[in-house]
Amino acid sequence: MTSGACGRFGSSKASAPTTLLGDGVGSGLTVPTTTAAPPTTAGKPAATSSPAPKCQYTDPNSEIVYANRLKLALAVSTLCPKHADDIGFTLTVTNVSSEVVHYDKNQAQFFSLLAYPQGSGRLRWEDTNCQPPARDRNAPAANLNPGQSVTFSTLYPAPKSVSDREKCRRLEAGGYAANAVFLVCDNSYTDGYCDISKDTQFTAEHVLIDVGD
């Protein structure tokens, strides 16, 4: 995951014209030769602030096409979220072939965040952490017709309808790869149903993000 650019802006003012004492109206009057010096005050140094760090990633979207059959497009809502920020995910799958594709309506897990690079030891997250799949999943397969798209989306740590969603806010500071999968019933389609243990898994191209403190 997904990009910001920082810039500096400045402004300037033209100096106002200076009028010397004795010029203009009343210039013929006598002016005292001595005046009390105005009190002097030490100026405070101008406040400075460090610019916000620039996000190292710039593209919140990815796209991959499998054998002129399926196109998977993944999008994330933010590339450099803070620990307390929510992250949105959207997966759009398009049938770019000329034949119907059967997919598994019983799929429960679509999105995940895995530590990047691998082996860093940071906790992973999956969209089923706060929304475990139902025990009985017996929906028939769905058809994705040529040129048709289907879209799936969710929110990290969980949809706002989940009352205890904060218990799933588990990401640590550092890099993560946002991933998405889609299950197709290539070798598991029988009489209008899929066998989820035999489904073909298509994986979206990941999007890199960097989680802050």
CA 62 to CA 202: how far, in whole Å?
A: 14
Question: What are the backbone angles phi and psi of residue 71, rounded to the nearest 5°?
Answer: -115, 125
pLDDT recorded at residue 3: 42
**Which residues are CB-contacts of 97 (< 8 A; sequence separation ≥ 6)?**
68, 69, 70, 146
Q: Which residues pair with 149 in a beta bridge?
A: 94
Question: What are the backbone angles phi and psi of residue 165, rounded to the nearest 5°?
Answer: -60, -30
The tokens for 101 are: 């594709």
pLDDT recorded at residue 136: 79
Closest CA to 113 of 174, 172, 179, 166: 179
CA angle 182, 183, 189 (to 5 degrees): 155
Phi-psi region of 178 (alpha: psi -120 to 50; beta: other; left: phi over 0): beta
Strands 125-126, 149-156: parallel, antiparallel or unpaired by DSSP? unpaired
Q: Mark the ranges of the chain whose per-residue pLDDT is less than 50.
A: 1-35
Phi-psi region of 110 (alpha: psi -120 to 50; beta: other; left: phi over 0): alpha
pLDDT recorded at residue 93: 98
pLDDT recorded at residue 183: 98
pLDDT recorded at residue 66: 98
CA angle 31, 32, 35 (to 5 degrees): 125
Residue 195: other Cβ atoms inside 10 A: 13
pLDDT recorded at residue 12: 40
Q: Tens of pLDDT along 74-94? A: 999 999 999 999 999 999 999
Read off the pTM: 0.75
Q: How far apart, in Å, are the Cα atoms of 110 and each of 74, 103, 115, 121, 207?
A: 11, 13, 17, 22, 14
The tokens for 176 are: 């993560």
**Strand, helix or coil at 167?**
helix
Are 90 and 153 in contact, with CB atoms under 8 Å apart?
yes
pLDDT recorded at residue 111: 98
